[in-house]
Each structure stands twice: as structure tokens, then as C-alpha cells.
């Protein structure tokens, strides 16, 4: 064994410190380059509004839980600039790397922990959500913490560990509804291994009764709403196809920056899947039937259940012609499935470790994966096609072109970015969304009223349109095509028929058209 390998196994602090610094640095890379997009702005709004108003709003829409927004209220006291708001996610993204190291080390030693931590460090997918003002960095960190407590419980059934596990799971449930899938994962694990870990199984059921009691007040408020719990299901996620499953795996492996159908991302995903396949050998019990399973085997089985159950459930219920073929129900989105990224990487690292007798092969695989991940990350950060939005640039250009005499007109969703980035410089007049693909009398009358109000505040009007990336994997092709589309909407037809368009700006997720309200279009 080489001396440097022996030294880091005995003293892993130095390589771990390097990995954590790299993780923090990569999550800071390009942090200020992108504007906040609508969901991030909604976090800012909820974090800065009165607490009772925030809770009432969350209960009424039923698709969010309050913990993340509540804790962001305290974080936003530091500042509400985009970089400061995003630093919260940067921190918890880095914490996840440290937790993954501890879990990997418990599973198969220091090398395993360092390898798993490194894979999460360079993951473009995890870095993306570690730079977003949403709960998708906090949620995996909480689930990793609960998992770490569970591993210690399997070794030592102490009540203090159950308190830590119960608190972590309660906070996770109050952070995102997908944490319920982890409850199901743990339920399946304990039921399958009841004979060996009977005491821990009984303790788990008792703990989850307390966790359920802690979540009951929120669940009651949500379920008893007049419009029903079904309102909590997102209506913007479309049903998926079979191809979406491998696409999710390529995004987990290399991010979405290399584009849909990238052969480089496919190679990277193939290397990860080979590692996961190799780790299957630790899934089986090689000892006699009546002997207790080794802790490593129990842990490996728990990781496979964690990886497969949430992925399979969300896929089958969201698949077109799947379990719910006529309902239109879909919850399949990679950002929700970030909860299974940890077992994906841990099982990959566990399988790759079995190839240690071929160090040259393992080294080549690591170099290839690092190179491909770096390419994907660079594209995500520096290619404007992948930008979350372009509102910061939009307001700078609007101010340059039309100074402060212009009014912004748009649908209700435009008000949020105007409030954050406009800083009172541009009046905003809300216009109605079209009722159909044609101009109806009611729509035309309301537009005339609103444009009269706009003309009283300025001679120029910017028509602002937002376009969202609804792709479940983050590929922005459809959104970008919509921004560049020349097909006129009823709103554009109505405006172009009455006012002279002066200029148009096309930015990531945004289209801005400047109209002169004093000049009829001839």
C-alpha cells in the first residue's frame, strides 16, 4: 500500500478539508451571475411578509410546508440581496457533503467516505440546487442527518439517537412533502428486517407516532380546506414518458448542462450505473440463513430501498398510461427526486471501491467523470441558455433605453420581479390573461381600461412576458423557443393593433416589448 494512501486513511482530515473547501468553492462559483427566478422571488416574498400572512398563504395553496420559509425569515435579516439569500443553500449543500462522508465512512471505511463526498462535491445537479433560494439543498441535508442517526441506531438502540432521528424527520416533513417518501422507505426497511432488528423496529414505530403527532396540526389545516387536498398537487408538471427515467439518471450523473441526449452524460451515467450494479454483491446475505446480517449488508439494503422506492413510485404514478393513466396526475421532477441523489452516489462509490484492485481503471473513471461534470457545470453557470432568468439584465436595459418614463405592463406573475428588481423605478399595471386563443370582447374592454391607466403614468410601456422551464430535467429548450417564438398571442395582437412597437428584448425566460402609447399603430 502506498504511504499517502495509508496516511489519509489514518488522518482523513486533510483530504476531507480539501473536499469541503472545493465543495464550498464550486457552490460559490457563478453565484452572483444569475438573476433570481420566480420561485426564488416567491421565497423572498414569503420570508419578508408577516408570519401569519405567510402561514395563511401556504395553507391556502396547500403545496408547500412552512419550515424553510420560516427559517429564511431569520436568514433574510442578514440581507435580501440574491447572493446573501443563496448563501443559505450553499451552506447546506456543503453540509450535505460532510454528512455523506460520515455515512460513506460508516458503510465501508475512509476511502468510501471520501469518494462519495467527492462525487457529491462535483455534482452539477447538486451544485445547481445548492445555489437556489429554495429548499432543495436543505431537504437532502436533513434526510442525510436522519439517515446517519438511523445507522447509529442499528448499532446501538439508544433513546438519544431516536430523539435526533425524530427531530430530523419532523423538520424534513415540514420542509417538503417528498420527505413522506423517506418515511415509506424506512417503513419498508424495518418491516423487511423485523426478525433481526425487532427492538429497533418497535422503537421506529413509536418514534414515527410522535413525528406524526407533530405533523398532524399542519396536515389537519391543509386537508380540511374547502377545495380539498388535491389542490396541493402541482398542475404544471406534465405526464412523463419512459425516456424520462434514463434522462433523470444522466442528470444525476452529469447535470443538465450538456443538453438532452448528450452522449457524454450517457457515458457518465453508465459509469455510475456500473458502480451501483457492482454494489449489489453486498446486498445479498452470504452467511447461513439463520445468522444475523452484517451491518454493512443492512446498510446497503437500506440504500437500495432509498434509491428505488421514491424513484419507482413517482415514475409510475406520473407515467403517461402508467398507474393513473386518465388523471393527468404527475409529480415526477428531478428537483423533487434530489432526495435520492445521496443513495445514488453512495452505491456508486461502494461499487467503484470493489474495483480497487484495478487502480488504473478506477483512476481513469474518476478523471472522466470529473471532466464531464466540469463541462456540465461550466455550461450551467456560463451559458445564458441555462440561466434561471434575466431580470437583473432586463431592468438595466429597460432603464438605459427608456429611462424612468416607462410603465411595465404584464400578467400578475410579473409583479414579483418588478417589486424586487424594479425598486419603485417603474410603475406596474396588471393586464388580464387571454380567456381563449382569440380576442374576446371582455378581454378587449379590460385591456383598453388598463392601457388607459398605463398611459396616465407614462408615454412608453414595456410589455413583460415570463416563460418558465417546465421540463422535469431542467433542459431549457422549450422555454427558450417560446421566448424566441414569432407566433403572436392575443395580448400581442391587441397591443400591436393599437400601439407602435419600438423595440424588443429577449432574455432568459423573459420577453420585453416596448410600445409608444402616444402613437397609434397604422
Give pLDDT tens digits for 336-361: 999 999 999 999 999 999 888 888 98
Cα–Cα–Cα angle for 488, 489, 494, nearest 5°? 95
pLDDT band of residue 10 (cuts 50, 70, 90) is: low
Following DSSP, what letter does each residue of 207-260 receive, concatenated? HHHHHHHHHHHHHHHHHTSTT-GGGGS-SSPPPB-TTHHHHHHHHHHH-STT-T
DSSP state, residue 284: S
Burial of 468 (0-12, 13-18, 19+ CB in 10 A): middle
pLDDT band of residue 4 (cuts 50, 70, 90) is: very low
pLDDT of residue 303: 97
Instruction: Name the residue ranges covered by the structural domains of the chain.
Output: 3-386, 391-520
pLDDT of residue 350: 96
DSSP state, residue 63: S
Separation between Cα atoms, residue 266 and residue 386, nearest integer Å:
19
Give pLDDT tens digits for 479-504: 999 999 999 999 999 999 999 999 99
Give pLDDT tens digits for 380-419: 999 999 999 999 999 999 999 986 679 999 999 999 999 9
Mean pLDDT throughout 27-51? Answer: 94
DSSP state, residue 337: G
pLDDT of residue 321: 79
Dig out the grid coordinates for 433 from the structure: 390573461
pTM: 0.94
Give pLDDT tens digits for 251-261: 999 999 999 98
For the chain, what percent of residues have pLDDT higher than 90? 78
pLDDT of residue 228: 45
pLDDT of residue 227: 56
pLDDT band of residue 1 (cuts 50, 70, 90) is: very low
Query: How many CA atoms within 13 Å lie on the side-chain side of 457?
Result: 17
Is residue 398 within 8 Å of 426, Cβ to Cβ?
Answer: yes
Give pLDDT tens digits for 300-320: 999 999 999 999 999 999 998
Query: How many CA atoms within 13 Å lie on the side-chain side of 315?
Result: 15
Q: Can you list the alpha helix ranges (DSSP code H) found in 280-340?
A: 295-318
Mean pLDDT throughout 144-157? Answer: 96
54 alpha-carbon distance from chain centroid? 21
Separation between Cα atoms, residue 41 and residue 274, nearest integer Å:
40
Mean pLDDT throughout 62-73? Answer: 93
Separation between Cα atoms, residue 277 and residue 275, nearest integer Å:
5
Query: Which residues have C-beta within 8 Å of that of residue 233, sequence separation ≥ 6?
Result: 63, 329, 331
412 alpha-carbon distance from chain centroid? 24
Cα–Cα distance list, 145 to 102, 105, 119, 162, 169 (Å): 10, 14, 18, 12, 9
Give pLDDT tens digits for 163-222: 999 999 999 999 999 999 999 999 999 999 998 999 999 999 999 999 999 999 999 888
pLDDT band of residue 101 (cuts 50, 70, 90) is: very high
Separation between Cα atoms, residue 197 and residue 195, nearest integer Å:
6
Separation between Cα atoms, residue 437 and residue 498, nearest integer Å:
18
Mean pLDDT, the chain, integer: 91
Among all chains, which residue has been given the C-alpha cell 432574455?
507
Widest Cα–Cα separation across the chain: 88
Q: Where does residue 320 fall: left (phi above 0), alpha (psi -120 to 50 degrees), or beta otherwise?
A: beta
Secondary element (H or E) of residue 160: helix 159-173
Check residues 423 and 277 and name the one with the higher pLDDT: 277
Separation between Cα atoms, residue 473 and residue 132, nearest integer Å:
16
pLDDT band of residue 323 (cuts 50, 70, 90) is: confident
pLDDT of residue 231: 53
Dig out the grid coordinates for 174 from the structure: 415540514
Amino acid at each position: 500500500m502506498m504511504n499517502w494512501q495509508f496516511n489519509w486513511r489514518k488522518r482523513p482530515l486533510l483530504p476531507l478539508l480539501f473536499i469541503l473547501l472545493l465543495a464550498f468553492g464550486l457552490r460559490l462559483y457563478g453565484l452572483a451571475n444569475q438573476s433570481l427566478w420566480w420561485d426564488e422571488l416567491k421565497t423572498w416574498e414569503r420570508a419578508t411578509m408577516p408570519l401569519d400572512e405567510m402561514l395563511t398563504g401556504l395553507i391556502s395553496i396547500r403545496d408547500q410546508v412552512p419550515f424553510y420559509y420560516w427559517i429564511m425569515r431569520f436568514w433574510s435579516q442578514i440581507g435580501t440581496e440574491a447572493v446573501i439569500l443563496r448563501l443559505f443553500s450553499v451552506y447546506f449543500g456543503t453540509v450535505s457533503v460532510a454528512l455523506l462522508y460520515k455515512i460513506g465512512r460508516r458503510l465501508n471505511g475512509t476511502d468510501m467516505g471520501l469518494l462519495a463526498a467527492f462525487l457529491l462535491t462535483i455534482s452539477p445537479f447538486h451544485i445547481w440546487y445548492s445555489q437556489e433560494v429554495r429548499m432543495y439543498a436543505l431537504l437532502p441535508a436533513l434526510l442525510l442527518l436522519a439517515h446517519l442517526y438511523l445507522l447509529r441506531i442499528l448499532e446501538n438502540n439508544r433513546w438519544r439517537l431516536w430523539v435526533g432521528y425524530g427531530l430530523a424527520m419532523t423538520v424534513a416533513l415540514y420542509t417538503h412533502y417528498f420527505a413522506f417518501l423517506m418515511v415509506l422507505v424506512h417503513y419498508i426497511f424495518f418491516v423487511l428486517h423485523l426478525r433481526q432488528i425487532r427492538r429497533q423496529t418497535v422503537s421506529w414505530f413509536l418514534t414515527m407516532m410522535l413525528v406524526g403527532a407533530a405533523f398532524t396540526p399542519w396536515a389537519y389545516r391543509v386537508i380540511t380546506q374547502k377545495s380539498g387536498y388535491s389542490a396541493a398537487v402541482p398542475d404544471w408538471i406534465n405526464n412523463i414518458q419512459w425516456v424520462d427515467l434514463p434522462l433523470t439518471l444522466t442528470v444525476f450523473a452529469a447535470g443538465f448542462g450538456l443538453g438532452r441526449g448528450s452522449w457524454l452524460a450517457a457515458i457518465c451515467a453508465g459509469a455510475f450505473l456500473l458502480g451501483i450494479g457492482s454494489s449489489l454483491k453486498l446486498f445479498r446475505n452470504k452467511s447461513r440463513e439463520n445468522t444475523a446480517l452484517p451491518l454493512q449488508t443492512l446498510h446497503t439494503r437500506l440504500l437500495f430501498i432509498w434509491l428505488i422506492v421514491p424513484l419507482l413510485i413517482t415514475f409510475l404514478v406520473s407515467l403517461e398510461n402508467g398507474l393513473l393513466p386518465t388523471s393527468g396526475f404527475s409529480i415526477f421532477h428531478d428537483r423533487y427526486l434530489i432526495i435520492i441523489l445521496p443513495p445514488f452516489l453512495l452505491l456508486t462509490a461502494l461499487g467503484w471501491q470493489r474495483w480497487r484492485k484495478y487502480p488504473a481503471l478506477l483512476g481513469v473513471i474518476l478523471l472522466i467523470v470529473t471532466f464531464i461534470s466540469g463541462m456540465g457545470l461550466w455550461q450551467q453557470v456560463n451559458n445564458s441558455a441555462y440561466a434561471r432568468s434575466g431580470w437583473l439584465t432586463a431592468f438595466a436595459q429597460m432603464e438605459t433605453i427608456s429611462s424612468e418614463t416607462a410603465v411595465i405592463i404584464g400578467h400578475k406573475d410579473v409583479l414579483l420581479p418588478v417589486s424586487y428588481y424594479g425598486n419603485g423605478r417603474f410603475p406596474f399595471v396588471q393586464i388580464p390573461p387571454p380567456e381563449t386563443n382569440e380576442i374576446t370582447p371582455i378581454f378587449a374592454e379590460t385591456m383598453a381600461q388598463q392601457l388607459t391607466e398605463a398611459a396616465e403614468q407614462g408615454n412608453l410601456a414595456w410589455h413583460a412576458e415570463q416563460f418558465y422551464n417546465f421540463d422535469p430535467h431542467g433542459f431549457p429548450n422549450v422555454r427558450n423557443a417560446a421566448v424566441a417564438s414569432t407566433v403572436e398571442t392575443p395580448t400581442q395582437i391587441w397591443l400591436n393593433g393599437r400601439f407602435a412597437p419600438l423595440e424588443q428584448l429577449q432574455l432568459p425566460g423573459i420577453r420585453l416589448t416596448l410600445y409608444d402609447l402616444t402613437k397609434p399603430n397604422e
